[in-house]
Amino acid sequence: MPKLKPRSAASTDEASVYAACHRYLIEIADYIHAHNPSAAQRVRAAIYESLQYLILFPHVGRRQKTEGVRKFVTRKYPYLVYYMVDEAAEEIIILNVRHPARRREHEDA
């Protein structure tokens, strides 16, 4: 089963690898918390749940114009998860997690 890794996963320290991966979700939760504190936890939990689905089905995301990049839309709240699958290392590399209203770094297919 693939493991989630952040884009900046150059470190071999597993704790720092997973901490960097969750940076996107912390930023999202902090932004929501400023406007609606009770919603922040729900949104973050829903995104984590969707990421677990992504681990089970790593190729579920739609291919993008940038080679190797896929886009997965989370289920309950429509956040966009841009990622790559490293088959050899059995890893999913999260490139970004964004709200669809924000500017996108990767061009959709």
Query: Which residues make Cβ contacts (< 8 Å) with residue 74, sequence separation at least 6?
Result: 46, 47, 50, 51, 80, 81
At 38-82, the pLDDT tens digits run 898 898 888 888 888 888 888 999 999 999 999 999 988 888 988
CA–CA separation, 96 vs 66, rounded Å? 14
Task: Provide the domain limits for residue 58.
Answer: 3-98
| 105 found inside a domain | no
Q: What is the structure's pLDDT at 62? A: 95
pLDDT (mean) for 24-28: 83
Asked if residue 108 is part of any domain, the answer here is: no
Is residue 13 in some structural domain? yes
| CATH label of the domain that carries residue 14 | 3.30.2310.20
pLDDT at position 67: 92
Q: How many domains does the chain have?
A: 1
SS3 97: strand
103, part of any domain: no
Q: Is residue 16 part of a domain?
A: yes
Tell me whether residue 107 is in a domain.
no
SS3 content of the chain, % helix, strand, coil (to 5): 40, 25, 40
Claim: this prediction has a pTM higher than 0.85 = no
- Asked if the structure places residue 88 within a domain, the reply is yes
Residue 104 within a domain:
no
